[in-house]
Amino acid sequence: MNPTKRITADVIGCGIDIVDWGQAIDRIKSWADNRESKYVCICNAHSVVTARHDPNFMNVIKNADMATPDGAPVAWLIRKLSATQQARINGPDLMWRYCSEAADRGESIYLYGGQPSTLEKLKSVLNSRFKNLIIAGSYSPPFRALSKEEDDEVVDRINASGAGTVWVSLGCPKQEQWMAEHRGRINAVMIGVGAAFDYHAGTIKRAPLWMQKNGLEWLHRLCSEPRRLWRRYFVTNSLFILHAGHQLASKTFRNS
């Protein structure tokens, strides 16, 4: 079976891959082995609602080489629409699983994003957990936009590192836009993983496993950072429920 063959589901207008953990990792490995310039979006309710209301961001998601269903609501809607066994393929766990395999295969990775202190903690954690993992480099970009010369230098640095994958932690939608802009320039697979750097570095505490398994990780994040995240969860989650309900109702009507 070709690991890069795509089957997608329409999630309120976004094409999200119907994919399991093994398939997602195999696709990335296949691209990384050939140093192909690809990008992977990890899509939660916030991502797909933002895309639905922002045509430019919708194009970024549509043009991704893979868009996995992060967030319990997105995976739930796919299960309701077509793939009854669809799992939640989230950024932190994808990064952790892939690093384990990369260490065994001798594949190097690159870390892009996060604060300098977070990157140092993250590299220490990864090197401690995965003894043979090769971290080819890392870069903490400034909050301002890079000049063309600075960006060219970063691209050259990443390509010269020999990394097969670039793990990008800039937050949505910035990381997805950055990856889309750099496809064709960076000779590696770029994966946008949101808060994964902070989780693995220990600078932000991740939800307990029982909350993750029951689709409540968003609630833990909201309680941890209410001022920053209240609008995202209350507004975008409400819009997701509205759009998803309309989509399911339309499907029921067509099938009746």
Output the pLDDT for position 1. Answer: 46
| pLDDT confidence tier of residue 256, bands split at 50, 70 and 90 | very low
- Which CATH number, 2.60.40, 3.40.50, 3.30.70, 3.30.519, labels domain 8-206? 3.40.50
Q: Write down the domain spans for the chain.
A: 8-206, 210-255
Laid out side by side, the sheet with 108-113 consists of: 66-69, 38-43, 189-192, 165-169, 108-113, 134-139
Q: To the nearest whole percent, how much of the chain has pLDDT over 70? A: 90
Output the pLDDT for position 53. Answer: 93
Encode pLDDT of 130-186 as tens digits: 999 999 999 999 989 999 999 999 999 999 999 999 999 999 999 999 999 999 999
* pLDDT(215) > 80: no
d(CA 191, CA 251): 32
d(CA 222, CA 14): 25
- Cα dihedral 105, 108, 113, 116 sign: positive
The whole-number average pLDDT for the span 115-136 is 97
Nearest Cα residue to 39 out of 48, 47, 27: 27
Buried b (16+ CB within 10 A) or exposed e, 161-182: bebbbbbbbbebbebbebbbeb
Encode pLDDT of 225-251 as tens digits: 777 766 776 788 889 999 999 999 887
d(CA 91, CA 167): 10
Q: What is the pTM of this model?
A: 0.90
Output the pLDDT for position 66. Answer: 98
